[in-house]
C-alpha cells in the first residue's frame, strides 16, 4: 500500500524528526515487510500532546451531533478500506481473513454506537435543581450539572486486536465521543495497519471539519513513558499485560498532577462446571471449552484459563475427553514472535511446578503455539500460591478439581479480580449453588451462564472490566457505551443566567434530553 509513510501523525500533518527506524514484520514468516517507520522523538511526543491540547477546547465545545458525524465518518472510512488492507492486516498479525473482516465490522460498529450515544445525549448526565428562594431556614440556589471531557487522552494499541482495541478502537472511540482529543501510541506488532487506520481517521476529521489536532499518532518503543508523563495528557487507555499496565499506572500516579489510567491487564476467566450440567452434557461441554480455549490461538483477554469442577466419576470422564480434544488441536501462529516467546515461558513456568501435571499437548515448536492442558492441585490456590493466578496468553488452560461445595467456595474466595466468570449449570445446579453468585459478583465484571467468555458484544449493557488485576479501575468498562464515562467529569453551574448555560442545562431543553429535574426525570421545557 503506497500511502504508508511510517511517519508520526501530528496536528493533521506527517512528521519524521527522529533518525531511528523500525520495520513491520510478516507474523507467519518473520520477514520484514516493505514499510519503514520512524521512531518518534521526544520533540514529536511533545508536539503531538501540544496539538491535542490546542484541539481540546474547540473539539469539546462542538455539539454532540457534530462529534457524532465525525465518528460515523471514521466508521465509513474504515469500512471503505479495500482488499489490500485486509491482506495487510492478515500478514502483520497471522489472523485469518474472516476474523479481520469481523473485527473491522466490530470496530466501525462501535464507532457508530458512540455516535448514537452522542445523539441520545444521556452521557451528558444533565441534572437540574431549581432555586428555592423561599425555603426555610435557608434558600436553595439554582444548581445545574452536566458532564464534559477530561482533556487529551493517551491511548495504547493492543497486540491481540489490531482494529477493535487499537487505532480507532474502543478507547479512541469513547474518548473522541467524550470530546477528548487522542494521542495514540501504535503497537509495534501492526504498525502498517495502524498507519492505514490513522489515515482513515484524518480523512474523516477533514471531511467533517474537526480541529486538526483531534487525533495524533506516534510510533516507537520507549515513547509511552514520555507520553503518560506529558503535562497535557489527562487520562490513559491501555490494553495489554499486567506488567505494562501497572508500569503506566505507577507513572501516572507519580506525576505532579496524577491522572487516571484505565488499563485492562490480566485475567484467567474461571469456568465452573457444576455437577448436573456435567452429567447431562459432559461431552458437549468438553467440545465447547476446547473451541473457546483455542479460539484465536488463545489470544483473547477473555480466554478461559482455569476450568473448575467437583470431584466425581463424571468429572473424571470429562477430563479424559477434554484432554483428547485438546491433544487433537493443531498448532497455530501467534500474533508475533514476542507473544510466542512469552507463551513458551509461561508454559515452562507452570509445567515446572511439582503440583501441576501435564494432560495434553505436543512440545512447542519455533514458529507456532501448541495447545496445552494442565491439571493443578487445588491447594495451590487455597495456599495463596500466585502460579494459577497468572494468565498464560495463548492456547493453554488449567483444570482444577475440588472435593466439595465448601472447597469450591474457598477456591473462589482465593481468586484475584477477573474480567469474567462462567457457570456451566442446569436449574438444579443454580438452586444448589446459589451462594456462589454473590462471591463471583465481587470478583468479576461479567458473569456468564452456559456460554463462553471468548466473545464480547459491543452494546449498552456490556461490561468489559473487573477488579484488579483484571483492570486498574473496576469502575469502568473498555467495551460498550458505558466506556465513555471514563473520560468525562461533572461540572456544576450555580445561579447562572439561562443564556450563559450550556445547551444541556438551558430551560427550554434544546437538545431534547431526559434530565433529572428536581429529583424527577423529565424532557419538558422549564419555561
Positions annotated as catalytic residues are 264, 301
Per DSSP, the residues of 504-516 read GGSTT-TT---EE
Distance of CA 240 to CAs 61, 188, 301, 359, 466, Å? 32, 13, 9, 29, 14
Helix (H, G, I), strand (E, B) or coil at 30: coil
CA angle 364, 365, 369 (to 5 degrees): 65
Torsion of CA 346, 349, 355, 358, to 10 degrees: 60
Per DSSP, the residues of 357-389 read EEEE-PPP-SSSBPPEEEEE-THHHHTT-SGGG
| Region for residue 11 given its phi and psi (left: phi exceeds 0; alpha: psi -120 to 50; beta: otherwise) | left
Sign of CA dihedral 347, 350, 352, 356: negative
> Hunting for cell 426555610 — which residue is that?
136
Q: Which residues have a Cβ under 8 Å from the Cβ of 178 and sit 6 or more positions away?
A: 123, 149, 150, 484, 487, 488
User: 193 phi and psi, to 5 degrees?
Assistant: -60, -45
Q: Which ranges constitute the DSSP H helices of 80-213?
A: 83-93, 97-120, 170-177, 191-207
User: 182 phi and psi, to 5 degrees?
Assistant: -120, 140
Decide if 227 contacts 10 (C-beta within 8 A). no
Rounded Cα–Cα distance for residues 13 and 202 (Å): 9
CA atoms within 13 A on the CB side of 152: 29
Amino acid at each position: 500500500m503506497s500511502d504508508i509513510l511510517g511517519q508520526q501523525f501530528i496536528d493533521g500533518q506527517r512528521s519524521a524528526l527522529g533518525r531511528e527506524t523500525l520495520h513491520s514484520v510478516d507474523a507467519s514468516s518473520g520477514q520484514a515487510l516493505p514499510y519503514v517507520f520512524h521512531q518518534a522523538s521526544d520533540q514529536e511526543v511533545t508536539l503531538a500532546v501540544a496539538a491535542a491540547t490546542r484541539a481540546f477546547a474547540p473539539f469539546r465545545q462542538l455539539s454532540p451531533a457534530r462529534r457524532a458525524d465525525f465518528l460515523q465518518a471514521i466508521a465509513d472510512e474504515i469500512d471503505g478500506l479495500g482488499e489490500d488492507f485486509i491482506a495487510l492486516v492478515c500478514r502483520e498479525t497471522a489472523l485469518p481473513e474472516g476474523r479481520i473482516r469481523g473485527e473491522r465490522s466490530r470496530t466501525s460498529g462501535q464507532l457508530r454506537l458512540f455516535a448514537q450515544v452522542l445523539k441520545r445525549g444521556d452521557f451528558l448526565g444533565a441534572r437540574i435543581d431549581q432555586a428555592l428562594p423561599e425555603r426555610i431556614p435557608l434558600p436553595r440556589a439554582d444548581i445545574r450539572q452536566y458532564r464534559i471531557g477530561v482533556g487529551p487522552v493517551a491511548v495504547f494499541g493492543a497486540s491481540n486486536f489490531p482494529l477493535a482495541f487499537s487505532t480507532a478502537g474502543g478507547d479512541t472511540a469513547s474518548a473522541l465521543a467524550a470530546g477528548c482529543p487522542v494521542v495514540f501510541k501504535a503497537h509495534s506488532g501492526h504498525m502498517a495497519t495502524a498507519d492505514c487506520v490513522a489515515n482513515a481517521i484524518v480523512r474523516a476529521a477533514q471531511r467533517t471539519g474537526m480541529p486538526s489536532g483531534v487525533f495524533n499518532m506516534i510510533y516507537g518503543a520507549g515513547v509511552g513513558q514520555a507520553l503518560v508523563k506529558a503535562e497535557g495528557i489527562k487520562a490513559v487507555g491501555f490494553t495489554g499485560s499486567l506488567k505494562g499496565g501497572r508500569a503506566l499506572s505507577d507513572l501516572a500516579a507519580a506525576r505532579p498532577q496524577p491522572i487516571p489510567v484505565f488499563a485492562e491487564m490480566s485475567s484467567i476467566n474461571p469456568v465452573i462446571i457444576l455437577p448436573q450440567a456435567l452429567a447431562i452434557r459432559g461431552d458437549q461441554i468438553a467440545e465447547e471449552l476446547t473451541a473457546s480455549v483455542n479460539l484465536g490461538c488463545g489470544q483473547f483477554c477473555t480466554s478461559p484459563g482455569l476450568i473448575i469442577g467437583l470431584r466425581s466419576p463424571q468429572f473424571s470422564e470429562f477430563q479424559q475427553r477434554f484432554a483428547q480434544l485438546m491433544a487433537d488441536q493443531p498448532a497455530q501462529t501467534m500474533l508475533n514472535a514476542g507473544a510466542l516467546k512469552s507463551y513458551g515461558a509461561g508454559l515452562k513456568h507452570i509445567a515446572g511446578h511439582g503440583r501441576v501435571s501435564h494432560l495434553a499437548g505436543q512440545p512447542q515448536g519455533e514458529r507456532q503455539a501448541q495447545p496445552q492442558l494442565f491439571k493443578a492441585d487445588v491447594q495451590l490456590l487455597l495456599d495463596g500460591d500466585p502460579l494459577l493466578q497468572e494468565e498464560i496468553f495463548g492456547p493453554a488452560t488449567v483444570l482444577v478439581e475440588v472435593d466439595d461445595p465448601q472447597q469450591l467456595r474457598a477456591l473462589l474466595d482465593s481468586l484475584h479480580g477477573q474480567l469474567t466468570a462462567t457457570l456451566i449449570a442446569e436449574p438444579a445446579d443454580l438452586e444448589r449453588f446459589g451462594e456462589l453468585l454473590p462471591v463471583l459478583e465481587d470478583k468479576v465484571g461479567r458473569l456468564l451462564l452456559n456460554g463462553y467468555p471468548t466473545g464480547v458484544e459491543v452494546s449498552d449493557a456490556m461490561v468489559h472490566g473487573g477488579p484488579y488485576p483484571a483492570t486498574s479501575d473496576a469502575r469502568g468498562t473498555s467495551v460498550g457505551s458505558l466506556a465513555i464515562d471514563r473520560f468525562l467529569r461533572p461540572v456544576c453551574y450555580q445561579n447562572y443566567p439561562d443564556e450563559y448555560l450550556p445547551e444541556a442545562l438551558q430551560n427550554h431543553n434544546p437538545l431534547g434530553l431526559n434530565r433529572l429535574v428536581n429529583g424527577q426525570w423529565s424532557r419538558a421545557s422549564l419555561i
